[in-house]
């Protein structure tokens, strides 16, 4: 079980990692969408010119990419924190 001080010390690191993960996931998704759909931008849920299926497909791909990138960055950050401090920051 991690100490409360390790959890508190990791919070700013975790916040920055989450912001980085969001940016990186967005960039990856944009590139994948361009290649898969041959469109520059993914459909937005409120754009009537796209089908319901295409909107859901874009959202599913985007969500999956975000989850994987966030997990990888969070895990890497936690491992780096553990190497530096000797404490695992998880709950």
89 vs 1: CA distance, rounded Å: 9
- pLDDT tens track for 11-21: 888 888 889 99
Contact present, 73 and 24 (Cβ < 8 Å): yes
91 vs 80: CA distance, rounded Å: 16
- pLDDT tens track for 53-85: 999 999 999 999 999 999 999 899 889 988 988
pTM above 0.75, yes or no: yes
What per-residue string of b and e applies to 64-90 under the rule 16 or more CB within 10 Å gives b? ebbeebbeebbeebbeebbeeeeebbe
Among 42, 18, 20, 17, CA closest to 31: 42
């Amino acid at each position: 079980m991690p100490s409360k001080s390790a959890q508190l010390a990791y919070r700013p690191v975790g916040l920055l990692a989450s912001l980085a993960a969001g940016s990186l996931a967005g960039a990856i998704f944009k590139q994948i969408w361009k290649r898969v759909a041959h469109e520059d931008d993914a459909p937005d849920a409120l754009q009537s010119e796209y089908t319901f299926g295409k909107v859901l497909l874009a959202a599913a791909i985007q969500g999956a990419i975000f989850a994987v990138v966030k997990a990888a960055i969070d895990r890497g950050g936690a491992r780096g924190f553990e190497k530096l401090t000797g404490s695992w920051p998880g709950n």
